[in-house]
Amino acid sequence: MLLRVAALLFSAVIVTGCTSLLQLLTPPLLWMGVVVEQTGAPPPEPSVEVDLVLTYGQTVTLPDMGLTLTFQEVLEDSRCPSDLLCVWSGWVRIALVAQAVGEPPATLEITTFTDHEGNVPAPPANSEAQPFAEYRNFDLALEQVTPYPARHADRPSLTDYQIRLKVRRQVAHWTPTPTPDGLPSPAATPTPVAQCSAAPQLPLLCYSNRAAVEHAAGTRKDPPMQLTAPVASCELPSQATGDALCAANWGEDWEMAEAEKRQQTSNWYAFLPTGSAYWMWDEYEDQLVAEER
């Protein structure tokens, strides 16, 4: 008897409560479907950091990063030999060839000061030489260049050189934009070049470490800072774009001036017309800024 009553009660609950049960079950099922839809987005790539030691002419392939690096050349080693007392410590300039998978190779130049062990100061002791380079989504930091010149009459041969690098792949973030159907929308279309005419226009301030050294030594008459023709802000989306514009105007040693170097290079600004306004790059904020002398 008890079993029959229980069975009847259970049947009644099923019949009268079917709508409620469906209402309770349906939202979680739909919610689960949305989650599955959203998790179809590609996960962000993990950052990868690698320490490398390269000898002169050596090529290393990093399969986890999809990057190949070659220590191509020692462009200059003016570091003061250990057996001399120099007015200027000198620096070392190297050239690397970087190539990402599916991309053409690119030559990167890095200039730095070092101590007598060949180690690069951290942070750099002088703002005129920055031991960093950027390529695609990779950051390269030069940490050591050996051997350090011991005697002025016996400079190291090219095959003796060795460098230590830290290579870091920047993290790629994927940020979906919701749309009515719950799917991520396509990436925003870049601002057309035609709209640049409405953007603010100023000359770009360019400078050269080599020109500054030569000017201070009296071997160069032209100033180490120059202004380009006015350019719209939207045409300078990155520091690399500004560097390329400076190099195209005055040579590969020229690059966009950086705002944080104002104190160290304040004497250079005497070459600029008073009241002139220009673009510079703020590395801390990673953005273009307008300055006025």
Tens digit of pLDDT at every position of the chain (293 positions): 444 544 444 444 444 444 444 444 444 433 344 444 444 455 545 557 899 999 999 999 999 889 999 999 999 999 999 988 888 888 999 999 999 999 999 999 999 999 999 999 876 656 667 788 889 888 899 999 999 999 988 899 999 999 999 999 876 443 444 445 544 444 443 433 444 556 788 899 998 888 877 877 788 888 888 889 888 888 888 888 899 999 888 888 899 988 776 555 556 667 776 777 888 888 777 888 888 76
Instruction: Give the other-Cβ count within 10 Å of 255's Cβ.
Output: 21
Q: Is the pTM of this model over 0.95?
A: no
How far, in Å, CA of 110 to CA of 283, rounded?
17
The whole-angstrom separation of Cα 171 and Cα 164 is 23
Q: Report yes or no: 128 and 140 within 8 Å, Cβ to Cβ.
A: no
Ordered structural domains, the chain, with CATH: 48-169 (2.60.98), 193-292 (no CATH)
- ∠ at Cα 272 (245, 258), nearest 5°? 50
Q: Please name the residues in contact with 251: beta carbons below 8 A apart, sequence gap of 6 or more.
A: 208
Half-sphere exposure of 54 (CA within 13 A, CB side): 27
Sign of the CA dihedral with 104 first, then 105, 107, and 113 last: positive
* Alpha helices per DSSP H over 128-275: 209-216, 239-250
